[in-house]
């Protein structure tokens, strides 16, 4: 529906807009301290993120028309770099440890769309950040592994976990445990993964929450 697509736009654009605000604040601080080179780096990040917003809105228009968009080989390390740009400062600001893969496994290539794959990861990481925000030893980790011809990414946190009544319909649009959450992230994320020929599931865990993404290796 139009309402769902409108809410989707708000949900997906919120991440880069929040990052733009952070980079703008940083740039102003660097200028005040007489560090124009560091300010310029932050301003370039803003330029990159505004381009990303255009890509997201174009992708959401295709989603509204049920179009699959561009799918092909995507280097995981490039997608992970994009995720770090979008959400890394938020983790640092809250003092939450974010472990991202940087070994040989991060250089695997999968069948996906880069921007939409980043959207899925950012949604999962933002949910994890919200879940662990009040913990002293807060930690969120992304791991990459192989399962036959597939590539498996997991996003795990050491938060309180997900209540059973929420877990049962977690991927339904507007299902959320957040007071002011839209509840669209996981529903759209699963649809995106399906378009890639992959899956997104919640994995039972003794503590915290673990989400598993399975993608076809390119």
Per-residue tokens: 99: 């472990």
Determine which helix (DSSP H) or strand (DSSP E) holds 216, and give its type and residue range: strand 209-216
Nearest CA-CA partner of 80 in 98, 59, 106, 56: 106
pLDDT tens per residue, range 85-97: 889 988 999 999 9
Torsion of CA 82, 62, 22, 76, to 10 degrees: -10
Angle, CA 45 vertex, CA 41 and CA 51 arms, to 5°: 145
pLDDT tens column, 35-66? 999 999 999 999 988 887 887 776 666 555 54
Residue 11 CB neighbours (<10 A): 18
Give the span between the Cα atoms of 150 and 155, in whole angstroms.
17
Q: What is the pLDDT of residues 18-27, one digit of tens each?
A: 889 999 999 9
Cα-based torsion angle of the residue sequence 46, 69, 213, 138 in order, rounded to the nearest 10 degrees: 20
- Strand-pairing partners, residue 213, are 153, 200
Q: Contact 146/154 with Cβ under 8 angstroms?
A: no
The whole-angstrom separation of Cα 194 and Cα 18 is 27
pLDDT digits (tens, 9 = 90+) for 137-171: 999 999 999 999 999 999 999 999 988 777 777 88
Q: In the prediction, which pLDDT does 181 show? A: 43
Query: Which token pair is 81?
Result: 């770099």
Triad 189, 192, 194: Cα angle to 5°: 110
Q: Residue 122 and residue 19: Cα distance in Å, rounded? A: 12
Tokens 């295709």 — which residue?
62
Domains and CATH numbers, the chain: 2-216 (3.30.565.10)
The single residue listed with the structure tokens 């990040």 is 45
Does this model's pTM top 0.75? My answer is no
């Amino acid at each position: 529906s139009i309402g769902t697509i409108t809410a989707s736009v708000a949900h997906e654009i919120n991440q880069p807009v929040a990052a733009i605000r952070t980079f703008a604040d940083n740039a102003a601080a660097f200028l005040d301290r007489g560090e124009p080179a560091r300010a310029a780096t932050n301003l370039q990040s803003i330029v990159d993120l505004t381009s990303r917003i255009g890509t997201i809105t174009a992708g959401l228009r295709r989603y509204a028309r049920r179009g699959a968009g561009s799918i092909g080989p995507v280097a995981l390390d490039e997608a992970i770099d994009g995720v770090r740009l979008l959400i890394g400062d938020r983790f640092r600001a809250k003092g939450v440890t974010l472990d991202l893969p940087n070994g040989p496994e991060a250089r695997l290539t999968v069948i996906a769309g880069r921007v939409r794959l980043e959207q899925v990861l950012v949604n999962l990481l933002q949910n994890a950040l919200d879940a662990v925000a009040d913990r002293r030893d807060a930690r969120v980790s992304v791991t990459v592994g192989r399962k036959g011809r597939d590539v498996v990414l997991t996003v795990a946190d050491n938060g309180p976990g997900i209540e059973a009544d929420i877990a049962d319909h977690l991927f339904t649009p507007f299902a959320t445990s957040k007071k002011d959450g839209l509840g669209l992230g996981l529903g759209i994320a699963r649809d995106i993964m399906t378009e890639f020929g992959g899956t997104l599931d919640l994995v039972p865990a003794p503590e915290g929450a673990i989400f598993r993404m399975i993608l076809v290796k390119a």
